[in-house]
Structures are given as C-alpha cells and as structure tokens.
Amino acid sequence: MGEYAATGFEKWLKDKTGKDIYFWNFIALMVLTVIEVAAVYIDWTEVLGTTLENAKLLTWAILIGVGLVKVYGIAGFFMHLKGDPFIYTKTAVFPLFFVMLMLYGIGLSNPGGIDDLPRWCLPPWLK
C-alpha cells in the first residue's frame, strides 16, 4: 500500500467508474465469496447429472480456483505486492517451499502420515 503507479487498465477503470482499483477489488472479493458458498450448496449431481465423486472434485476445484483468485486480489492489491519491489513477493512465496516440503515429508511420502500424525508429533518422553 505504498506509493503505487496505477496501470493503464486501473486508470481507465477509475476514469470510467470514478472508483479506484481498491474498491473494485473489494467488490470482486465479495462476489467471489458468494460464488464459494453457492458452489457448496448447489447439488452438482442433479444439475450436471454427474456422480458424487465428480461433484466432489468439481466443488473442490471451484473452491481452490476461487480461493487462488481471492489470494491474488488481497496480496496483489490490498497488500500491494503488485506495486512494491519484487523482493517482498519473494519473501511471501519463500515459506511456501517449506509448506510443500512439509506436506510431502509428512504425508505423501509415508502411508502412516495420515492417522499416525499425532503420535509423530509427540515428544519422545510422552510416547
């Protein structure tokens, strides 16, 4: 949210509507949240005539897709990563590498990673 040079599209948006990019970002986030809630309440098995398994995957895909757009809206505009020096974006993305490593190390690489997680996390003297 520091000094920020608006792009051509953002200037055009402000000229046409009188509202800046922050306002439209806020509106977009609200609409996307409604879409998230709707995606869960719509019975895709009836609407699309598909199996529950496919409906589950579709709902999951919508939630992840919409969530990623919301993350971009908040981090890019509200937290101003879009206008700030790139080092801040790198700072924000850096820990995600460890999150991926954690997900892989705890879960995907070991079949006991799901149900045995609490036992793994206990210190030796409590086992």
Partner 1 sequence: MSANSHQESPWMGSVGIGMLLLGLAGGILALSFIGYSVTHSHAIWTGGRVATILVGFYGLMGVLAGLVNSSVEAGNGDGHDDHGHDEHAHHGSFSPFIVGVGILTFLYGFVESYAILVIGLLVILLGAVNWWREDYPNDGKQEMKSLGQPYKGQDVRKVGLWVLLMSEILIFGSFFSSYLRMRMGWSTHWNEDCNSMLETGSELPVCSESYVIVASEYVTHSFWTLLPGAINTFALILSSYTVVLALKSAKAHEFVPSKNKWIRMWMPDRRRAVRNNLLATLALGTLFLILKLIEWEHLIYGEDFTVKSSLAGSIFYVSTGAHGFHVFVGLIFLCYFCFKAHNDGWQPENSQSIEYFGLYWHFVDLAWVAIFPAFYLY
Nearer Cβ to partner 1 (6/71) = 71
Angle made by CA atoms 7, 10, 15, in degrees to the nearest 5: 125
In this complex, which beta carbon is closest to partner 1, that of residue 9 or of residue 94? 94
Would you tell me which residues interact with partner 1 (CB under 8 A)?
1-2, 22-23, 26, 29-30, 33, 36-37, 39-41, 51-53, 56, 59-60, 63-64, 66-67, 70-71, 74-75, 78-79, 85, 87-88, 91-92, 94-96, 98-99, 102-103, 106-108, 113-115, 117-118
Q: Residue 76: which residues within 8 A CB-CB, separation 6 or more?
A: 82
Q: How many CB atoms lie within 10 A of CB 77?
A: 22
Q: Is 42 in a helix, a strand, or coil?
A: coil
Distance separating alpha carbons of residues 24 and 22, to the nearest angstrom: 6
Q: How far is the CB of 72 from partner 1 (least distance, A)?
A: 10
Minimum distance from residue 8 beta carbon to partner 1 (Å): 21
What six digits make up the tokens of 32? Answer: 């996307």
Closer CB to partner 1, 109 or 124, in the complex: 109
| Distance in Å, CB of 107 to partner 1, minimum | 3
Residues 5, 83 contacting (CB under 8 angstroms) = yes
Residue 81 Cβ vs partner 1, minimum distance, rounded to whole Å: 10
